[in-house]
Amino acid sequence: MGKQHLTAKKSFLRTKKTLSSDFSAQKSEKKANSPHVRRIFKGEHGDAVFYGRAMNYRGILQLMPSDFWQRVTRLRDDLREATRKQRAAGFSGSGWTERQRQGRVAEAIHGHPASNNYFSTELKSSGLPFADTFLEAIGDLDFPERPEPRARFLAESIAGYGEVSARRCRDICSQMRKREKQRKRSKPELWIKCCGKARWTVNSVCPICGADPIHNSWRSGG
Domain around 161: 51-180
Per-residue pLDDT band for 199 (boundaries 50, 70, 90) equals confident
Cα–Cα dist 100/116, whole Å: 20
pLDDT value for 198: 86
Cα–Cα dist 75/67, whole Å: 12
Residue 81 lies in a domain: yes
Residue 186 lies in a domain: no
Q: What domain count does the chain have? A: 1
What are the pLDDT digits (tens) for 12-68?
344 444 443 333 333 334 444 444 444 444 444 578 889 989 999 999 999 999 999
Q: What is the pTM of this model?
A: 0.63
Residue 40 lies in a domain: no
Residue 83 lies in a domain: yes
Residue 59 lies in a domain: yes
Residue 45 lies in a domain: no
- In our burial notation (b when 16+ CB lie closer than 10 A, e otherwise), range 134-156 reads bbbbbbbeebeeeeeebbbbbbb
Single-letter residue type at 117 = N
Cα–Cα dist 107/117, whole Å: 11
Residue 111 lies in a domain: yes
